[in-house]
Amino acid sequence: MGKKLLEVKDLHTSFFTANGEVKSVNGVSYYIDEHEIVAVVGESGCGKSVTQMSVMQLVQSPPGKIKSGEVLLENKNLLEYGPRSKEMQAVRGAQIAMIFQEPMTSLEPVYTVGNQLCEVIRKHRKCTKKEAWQIGVQALADVGIPDPESRMKNYPFEMSGGMRQRAMIATAVACQSKLIICDEPTTALDVTTQAQVMEVLQSLVDKFGTSLLIVTHNLGLVTRYADRIYVMYAGRIVESGTTEEIITKPCHPYTLGLLASVPLLEETDGERLVPIDGAPPNLAKLPDYCSFYPRCPYACEKCKNKPVPELRKVGNTEHYVRCHLDIGGNAQ
């Protein structure tokens, strides 16, 4: 274990709607060490992105509200800063960079990539326009964009999806961010480009010592890159551990379901994927018992009659699971 860079403790974020309180983030805790790659995995709507938006204090209020919890960046609680405070603005980009799902919506279409890069660089680093331009060129080169000088003069629509995603990653490189949060970094990209983007992110950790948090629904995508994985369901962390533990010894039925739904190269032709039956719960009407109960193939009366289980340690490792049952023996 290295030195903790970011630690989130018992974070609660809700949206107050006409249909009631939507508990998008319901007591989430996790940490990221320096120079580490961590993945948060789960279905759409489970609260993954809202958790990271809460960390960055980008949750729109109203209707959203960060109700309680701590977000410690190098032991400083970011939630003590106002969302529009100078302290929080200094954190965004310079210390924590967030790369959103669709880079086309993150890049301004009427300005060149170079203009946008230089604006961000000059906001967070004391330098001239000329120095900012050179930093931007080097950042594009660092993320594997060929002929970076020319690409600085391109508009976003003149670049492919993979190139635009790399340009967004380059902003984090240029600002020397300690942590990069990637929210579904490979959305709408083909398989080859997905692999290229992930390799770029991996290289940043190796070259610059950056920490990386990958938010994704695709468990198969991150198993090659992540050091540790947090599995999230219905606003809660239901399992966490090293990637090896999660893949070889999954202990939560939801994790088993995610693994079973990942296509494997060695599967025979015509073999069907195993879906997770049912649909995610309504976060405005969460039950007092385990929220995965209606979809769980291992569920018994104990699961419905007892309150939501706490995370418990599995063995002597840093492997935790939120489940009443011991299904580790069924992992294979």
pLDDT values of the chain reduced to their tens digit, one per residue, 332 residues? 568 999 999 999 999 998 889 999 999 999 999 999 999 999 888 899 999 999 999 998 889 999 999 999 999 999 999 888 988 988 988 899 888 876 667 788 899 999 999 998 988 888 899 999 999 999 999 888 889 999 999 999 998 888 888 888 888 888 888 999 998 887 767 777 788 888 888 888 888 889 999 999 888 888 889 999 999 999 999 999 999 999 999 999 999 998 888 776 565 556 677 788 888 888 988 888 999 999 999 988 889 889 988 999 988 788 999 999 887 644 33
Range of the domain at 295: 1-95+181-265+274-332
Do 22 and 81 fall within a single domain? yes
Same domain, yes or no, for 187 and 161? no
Residue 59 lies in a domain: yes
Domain identity same for 185 and 171: no
SS3 annotation, the chain: CCCEEEEEEEEEEEEEECCEEEEEEEEEEEEEECCCEEEEECCCCCCHHHHHHHHCCCCCCCCEEEEEEEEEECCEEHHHCCCCCHHHHHHECCCEEEECCCHHHHCCCCCCHHHHHHHHHHHHCCCCHHHHHHHHHHHHHHCCCCCHHHHCCCCHHHCCHHHHHHHHHHHHHHCCCCEEEEECCCCCCCHHHHHHHHHHHHHHHHHHCCEEEEEECCHHHHCCCCCEEEEEECCEEEEEEEHHHHHHCCCCHHHHHHHHCCCCCCCCCCCCCCCCCCCCCCCCCCCCCCCCHHHCCCCCHHHHHCCCCCCEECCCCCCEECCCCCCHHHCC
Question: Do both 20 and 139 map to the same domain?
Answer: no
Q: Examine residue 100 and state whether it is found in any structural domain, yes or no.
A: no
Q: Are residues 157 and 215 in the same domain?
A: no
Q: Is residue 239 part of a domain?
A: yes
| pTM of structure | 0.89
Q: 298 and 192 in one domain?
A: yes
Q: Is residue 219 part of a domain?
A: yes
Whether residue 89 sits in one domain with residue 116: no
Q: Which of 176, 197, 217 is the last residue of a domain?
A: 176
Asked if 208 and 150 sit in the same domain, the reply is no
> Of the candidates 176, 199, 225, which is a domain's last residue?
176
Is the domain of 7 the same as that of 40? Answer: yes
Number of structural domains in the chain: 2
